[in-house]
Amino acid sequence: MNVLFPPAALTAVRQEELYLYLQLIAVFTLLLLLIGRELTIGLKFPYARWRRVSLVGIVPLLFAFLLILLWHIIRST
C-alpha cells in the first residue's frame, strides 16, 4: 500500500523543466496571495488567517521547489 509516490510519477517527471515551471506557478500563486494585500484592497480578504492557512501548501511546496532548484544546480555543474 503506497500512495505517496505512484510508480507512474517516475516516468512522468522526465519532462523536468515543464514541472519546474508548473511548480513555480503553484508556489508563486500562493506567495502572491500571501503578500498581495496591496493588490486587492477593498476585497475584505482575511489576510491574517490566509497567512496561517496557506502555510500548509507553501511549506512542502517551497521545500520541494528548493530541492528542484538544488537538483538543477547540481546537474548543471
Partner 1 sequence: MALDRVESWVVAGAAGLVALLAELLLMQSFVLSGMTLYSVLLILLLLYGTFRWPHPQHELLVLAIPSILRLLAYTLPLANLSPLFAQMMVSVPAGLTAVTFVWLLEQTWPNLRFAWRQLPLYLLLAAAGAVAGWLLFQFQQPPPPDTGSPLLWFFYIFVLVVAMAFVEEWLFRDIMQSALTRLWDNWLLAGLVVALIYTTLSLGLGSWPYVLLVFIMALALSWLRQATGNLLGVCVAHGAANLMFFLILPGLGSGGTLARLVTSGVLG
Residue from 35, 37, 40, 52 that binds partner 1 (CB under 8 A)? Answer: 52
Task: Fill in the per-residue mask, 1 to 40: x = in contact with partner 1 (CB under 8 A), - = not in contact.
Answer: xxxxxxxxxxxxxx-x-xxx-xx-xx--xx--x-------
Helix segments in the chain, DSSP class H: 7-12, 16-35, 47-53, 55-76
Question: Which residue matches cell numbers 530541492?
Answer: 67
Shortest separation between residue 30's beta carbon and partner 1, angstroms: 7
Q: How far is the CB of 36 from partner 1 (least distance, A)?
A: 13
Kindly state the smallest distance separating residue 11's Cβ from partner 1, in Å: 8
- Beta-carbon contacts of 24 under 8 Å, excluding residues fewer than 6 positions away, are 65
